Structure 1
């Protein structure tokens, strides 16, 4: 068992988080993560309306009596979703942990904090993590270059990013990106993190609500089979390397604009990947950690394995590296 600032602050048994993932963070996965003693998060915007989110929260409660959270990603848009209504749905649903991402969540803290909701905010730089701390979030999930989705534009790996954040912050830090087993958990704790966030690893579990073809595709892939798109637009995203991502990168290299790729990268096509099981049907996210994923366990098996193996790494391997003091 591990006792950290994260487990104490959020009342979670193990320092492991399944963060929000579009089309993936649904009740069956979140409840399975929660039942395993980790923190699972429903992805709010996977639900078409705030009313649907309330129903998904209720569905999750039918599957677990353990704490779980909701991810609310706030991004600029020509026709933005009703973010405030989603936030209110989270409060009315009685959820006490929220993971925010994207834009500064200050306005939403005014909704969450009076309701006793603890907020984790995602950041890809130390300066953004410090800003999140200054506005009153309860923890920061720090995303390094290895992560799936948006790693920011600075290309800093967690080996540097986590200790750099830990040196300056007083609230719990969650390491995100490149973590999929006990070795990553122990390394993150050694670097100064209080927990780890895993996305791609939790996609490859029995309870993950995506097509088995995609799970097996990740199992067979290695660490080289991801790709950065949108670099020329200063909105970098790490995705699974496939026919569509190769096409997007080629268009960018030739000076193309977002209008030239928007149909290729549409969310509807990405959703089809997970539903139909064709890895080339659209853009979908995967992290470098897929090179460390070799099976599709249940969430319970995965979490138990990570904790057991992490304890063994610390008590057996690492302690065994200490030189025996020589008697004077």
Structure 2
């Protein structure tokens, strides 16, 4: 299944693993890349740039295929050495940098000088067009269905992807609500060159998270996620649990007077990390997308990707055969 994304990234299948905090570690990234997709190591999961260098080395010991590094650039309560994390990735010879959050423009010259490709995550067509203008090689278009931050426009991929296809010249990935071959086929028909998946890869054998989390995703329906932080215009989709409900209660009580400090202790990343590592599903908030309703097993990454591609090919052949 050759697309502009497979050609750009040098991969067999147009399937990219999302860069997920606490989840995007070497064993998952290597497994995705070995299966023919593009695995992503999440930079800020590592405590320091030196730790990121070690994680890249560890990933490279598990695969000889291309993999990328995610660098999410967001306002934080503590100063984050983004320049040093980027340097760690580029110095290690990583050839794909996935950026998210703020514009990667300040880093573009440095990344291009190193010969690396840039994929930037966008939640709207206008942001994707800006990313194209500043020189990124591809974008990941994240619809309303996605985990994490979907933006504030609430546009689902059935509309967002064709709009992106109409406006963009560079390759783009569909992200949000995709978990099987039907989603891959739909994304390609709607104009995307491949897919980016996060929640689906959380429920795989190689995902470095507690089995309780994987099983809960398998048990979930599309109704088991919730949007939080909308009053702050920092909307994020989390799995519905007791902590998420507590955050909603605070949001309702505070109304327009809500401040980040009112909910910061509840949404702290360190608490979410405890969920993934210890398996206590109510230790903190943790992200999951609407795709959870489409996930029914915990396969290896190889089985998942091969199954998706086979399903997509069969669907596309069958549908287009209707017109022969």
The two structures have a TM-score, normalised by structure 1, of: 0.97
Alignment partner, residue 116 of structure 1: 115
CA RMSD, 1 decimal: 0.8
Structural mapping, 1:34-49, within 5 Å: 34-49=33-48
- Higher mean C-alpha deviation, range 299-308 or range 256-265: 256-265
Alignment partner, residue 163 of structure 2: 164
Alignment partner, residue 197 of structure 1: 196
Alignment partner, residue 292 of structure 1: 294
Alignment partner, residue 265 of structure 2: 263
Task: Pick the aligned partner of 2:312 from 306, 310, 313.
Answer: 310
- Can you list the C-alpha shifts for 1:258-289, whole angstroms capped at 9, x where unaligned? 21111111111000000111111100000000
User: Once the 2 structures are TM-superposed, how far is the Cα of residue 81 of structure 1 from its aligned partner?
Assistant: 0.9
The residue matched to 2:189 in structure 1 has which SS?
helix
Structure 1 unaligned spans of 5+: none
Alignment partner, residue 139 of structure 2: 140
- Higher mean C-alpha deviation, range 61-70 or range 250-259: 250-259
The two structures have a TM-score, normalised by structure 2, of: 0.98
Structural mapping, 1:20-31, within 5 Å: 20-31=19-30
**Residue 222 (1) aligns with residue 218 (2):** no
C-alpha distance in 2, partners of 1:80/1:215?
A: 32
- Can you list the C-alpha shifts for 1:68-117, whole angstroms capped at 9, x where unaligned? 00000001234321000001101111000010000010111122110000
Distance 1:268 1:78, change over 3 A: closer
- Can you list the C-alpha shifts for 1:132-181, whole angstroms capped at 9, x where unaligned? 00000000000000000000000000000011011011000100000000
Q: Hey, which bits of structure 1, 4+ residues long, moved more than 4 A?
A: none
User: Once the 2 structures are TM-superposed, how far is the Cα of residue 295 of structure 1 from its aligned partner?
Assistant: 0.2
Check whether the contact 1:19–1:41 (CA below 8 A) recurs between aligned residues.
yes
C-alpha distance in 1, partners of 2:116/2:307?
A: 30
In the comparison of the two structures, how many residue pairs are matched?
A: 321
